Amino acid sequence: VDLTGNTFGLLASHPVTPLLSLHHPDYTEPIFPNMTRTKALQHLFQAAKVDSQRILQQTICYDKRFSWTISVSWGYAVQVFPNHMFLPEVVNVQETFKQWKKGNMLAKAYTFNTKPLHSDPCKRSTIFYFDSVSSGNDGIISSYYKRSFQNCSKNLVSPKKVEVIKVVTHKLNLGIKQLQAPRRQCCDVLPSSAGDQMEIAVRECKDEELIYMH
């Protein structure tokens, strides 16, 4: 897919397939805030070096306590929506980007479903960008995501009180079965020891387990 501008929407809702390439980085904005294009790509590959098959894999889970919907794009960003949303609505790609060729007859004829970016910043998701990653001897990979600035003056009971999100995973192994019939993994919101931190565990879904609002 050839896009220009801010590609956040696509990278945060990447299809359940391995990332192969990023096209035309010179025509897109840096994929991380407050970084140059080169630095931002190097930052993404810090996560890719630890678990290349999981990079940008999207996982959805729900926080029962606050009725939040959480979308994890591993190694890139975590979005927290202040309400419960149906899965098809979450996985639709936000149109933060622009088409490659203006005036094209096939404008917006993407190979994925899209949704418009809400005009009110206060009604958009709170975004936490990838900050760091570590791998322990036990095979557990911990990645950390820090909250980005959001231009919203409303002081609501919302995910904006969370500063850091920790995501715990095991290294992803895309076997033949997973490649032939890609399946999104499941995740759980764990009890956190810090009030400003959220902890999420990503895991394989159980047999016949579905991702749904609890």
Number of domains in the chain: 1
Check whether 1 has a pLDDT greater than 80.
no
pLDDT of residue 119: 82
pLDDT of residue 187: 93
Domain membership of residue 210 (yes or no) is no
Domain membership of residue 208 (yes or no) is no
Domain membership of residue 209 (yes or no) is no
In 22-137, which ranges are continuous DSSP H helix? 37-50, 87-91
Per-residue exposure over 47-82, b if at least 16 CB sit within 10 Å of its own CB, e if not: bbebbeebbbbbbbbbbeebebbbbbbbbbbbbbbb
Higher pLDDT, 210 or 9: 9
Domain membership of residue 42 (yes or no) is yes
Higher pLDDT, 136 or 15: 136
DSSP string spanning 145-168?
EEEPP-------SSGGG--EEEEE
Instruction: List pLDDT tens digits, range 148-170.
Output: 877 676 655 567 688 999 999 99
Check whether 106 has a pLDDT greater than 60.
no
How far is Cα 6 from Cα 119, in angstroms, rounded to an integer?
15
Check whether 185 has a pLDDT greater than 70.
yes
pLDDT of residue 165: 96
Tokens for 28, please give them.
């897109």
With 0-12 / 13-18 / 19 or more C-beta atoms within 10 angstroms meaning exposed / middle / buried, residue 187 is buried
Check whether 176 has a pLDDT greater than 60.
no
How far is Cα 81 from Cα 70, in angstroms, rounded to an integer?
6
Higher pLDDT, 27 or 212: 27
Residue bearing tokens 């009110």: 120
Check whether 114 has a pLDDT greater than 90.
no
Cα 114 to the center of its chain, rounded Å: 15
Domain membership of residue 101 (yes or no) is yes
**Domain around 150:** 3-203
The residue-averaged pLDDT of 199-212 equals 81
With 0-12 / 13-18 / 19 or more C-beta atoms within 10 angstroms meaning exposed / middle / buried, residue 206 is exposed
Domain membership of residue 63 (yes or no) is yes
Domain membership of residue 212 (yes or no) is no
Domain membership of residue 213 (yes or no) is no
pLDDT of residue 158: 64
Helix, strand, or coil (residue 27):
helix
φ, ψ dihedrals at 159, nearest 5°: -65, -5
* 11 and 31 Cβ atoms separated by less than 8 Å: yes
Identify the DSSP state of 195: T
Residue bearing tokens 């879904």: 205
